[in-house]
Chain A
Amino acid sequence: MNIWKISLSNIFHKPLYAFLSVLSLSISIGLLLSIQQLDTSIQNQFENSLGDVDMVLGAKGSPLQLVLASVLHMDNPTGNISLTEAEKITKNPLIKNAVPISYGDNYKGFRILGTNKEFADLYEAEFAEGEEVNQSMEVILGSTVAEETGLKIGDTFMSSHGLTENTVEVHKHPLTVVGVYKPTYKVIDKLIVTPLESIWDVHVHRKEHQDEEHTEKHHGDVQGAAHHEEEHEREITSMLVSFRNAMGTLTMPRRINKETSMQAALPRYELERLFNFTGIGVRAISWIAYIILAISCITIFISLFKMIQERAFDLALMRTYGASNFQLIRIVAYEGFLLVLIALVTGALLSQVGLHLAFSAFKHGYNQDILLKFPCVQMVKTVVLILIIVTIAIVLAILPILKMNVSKILSNAK
């Protein structure tokens, strides 16, 4: 016989009671933990997707839209810019490298991104199979694209115009898969990467039929066109720029926005602004979770308090057996903390299961695999907070034991 055995048999004596206490507590713990993990994972996902990109150079418009389109590949681009013009700016010694990207088409909703070989380096993407593209009309698939479309190396497919899935405007030029990237949990997973030339080639042909398209964007590259006749039509959506040092971040965007017809957006700054909006939602859900936590602490307090009252006679009896107050407190505290511990474990499991389900749903919705990020420090803080609150509830419930009048309880026994 020992204290643990008594605590355990107390729990099993009223299994429904114990189950309900554990249930309400684990739901709130699970909710709290998942919200934090979700928040961290999504922020991490966004930051991850930024890769090495410090600045985006693109057509004028909303900077947030430019960042969303060019870095997170979520929104429509603001327009096109001239490659020559962009390259002029990116020759600056402050710039480490500048990767041009160009949009236009999709395949089954996956964006086809014209760019150069440096694009993959921004996301540290490695080949799962296949090799680099060597010529126009060859593509490399991101891991999600390969998984979802079932395309393999050597397969060919037709892209359709625009950034959303449609079957009306299908290009007549087949693209050939030459490589597949390993999963990176970054945006490149949901992209089809091809040389810039592919996009140009496809759209040059289009232009022969529909000359009016894109002409409004031409005024920017008149000078460039004079020198490079063959590059006359070479436009890109944007240029992803990484700087050598912070100096670039400080000076370049302002100059570009002031002196050119293009705009420079800073992804980190724009996303921070975005999080300030979305953070409200996260905070609201967190508050709800805290309220549930408070309620379940009250539940634990009430159930322990009731239990102590119901067992007052048992506890008084143990005192006449020679038990110390400390032993009685241990019996009740072990019982409370054991329930809390079970709730913590099941709550954590619940949050993991829930998040995996949520993320697989997210994967279907957004074609993006998110790496579950475990925010250790924050989790530990939350768990410690939960333990403190629960401890207060348990201590409050236990207090009456200290003031217990053994004689009175025994003589009033029913």
Chain B
Amino acid sequence: MIQTQNLSFQYSPTLETLRFPDINLGRKENLLVLGKSGIGKTTLLHLMAGLLKPKSGAVTVEGIELQELSVRKRDRFTGQHIGMVFQKNYAIRSLNLLENLEARLYFSEVKVKKEQSHNLLEQLGLTAQKFKKVNQLSEGQLQRLTIALAVVHQPKVILADEPTSSLDDVNCELVMRLLLEQAAQQKANLIVITHDTRIKPLFQNIITL
């Protein structure tokens, strides 16, 4: 569950204030946020993830208002309850796939059985690569790893920033299918922010910025 109210943000006093529509997602509800480049999509995502402090308004995840928590508690809380898929595929470069998942769980202090991590890698077709370092992966494998990293700790909210914009149609569909599948399995809200209109049909809730 995630709600936003009257969210606004300003990068610096000289710049225009960005205002965002309210979002209110119940359990298992998904949302697509569409908008052109530069309109503040990533900003909205970072506000929802607690990475940015809003100028006004509030973000409530699982009934907890993020800005009411101390920095440390907020990091821990969002680490545990939010999973993020970044615009660029990213993981810790010095670690292998399995270690990346372990590090993810270690930092968010979530305990998950070993088989679950292995299952997840299998579902994403990464079992053969699990001892490979990140730089040995192909683009597509890396993309799937980021999805694994966003869901391995069983978050309540999955935030995806342009997960499909650099993919061809086949991979676009694959990635979206995986994201929706994982969100459904974890009973989490999936919020995708993109300018990629190809995935529009997959969502009932759509907001255009």
Which residues on A are within 8 Å of B, measured CB to CB?
1-2, 5-6, 9-10, 12-13, 311, 313-314, 317-324, 327, 406-407, 410-411, 413-414
Contacts and interface: CB of A to CB of B under 8 A. Distances in A.
Interface of B: 42, 46, 49, 51-52, 72, 75-80, 82, 84, 86-88, 90-95, 99, 102-109, 133
A410 B51 contact: yes
Chain A's interface: helix, strand, loop or mixed, by majority? Answer: helix
Nearest to A2: B106
A115 B131 CA distance: 78
Given A2-B106, A322-B109, A317 B92 contact: yes
Contacts of A10: 94
Contacts of A319: 75
A221 to B, nearest CB: 84
A323 B107 contact: yes
Contact of A321 (B79, B88, B94): B79
A324 B42 CA distance: 23
A72 to B, nearest CB: 58
B99 A5 contact: yes
A303 B86 CA distance: 28
B46 A410 contact: yes
A248 B48 CA distance: 89
B86 A324 contact: no
Contacts of B93: 13, 311, 314
B49 A1 contact: no
Given A314-B94, A406-B51, A407-B52, 14 more contacts: A1-B105, A1-B106, A9-B95, A10-B94, A13-B94, A13-B133, A319-B75, A321-B107, A322-B75, A322-B76, A322-B78, A324-B76, A327-B107, A413-B86
A411 B92 contact: no
Contacts of B87: 411, 413
Contact of B84 (A1, A320, A327): A320
A6 B77 CA distance: 22
Contact of A411 (B46, B72, B78, B79): B46
Contacts of B42: 411
Closest 5 CB pairs of A and B: A322-B79, A13-B94, A1-B102, A321-B107, A322-B108
Nearest to B53: A407
Contacts of A317: 90-92
Contact of A320 (B79, B99, B106): B79
A320 B49 contact: yes
Nearest to A7: B94
Contacts of B46: 407, 410-411
Contact of B95 (A6, A407, A413): A6
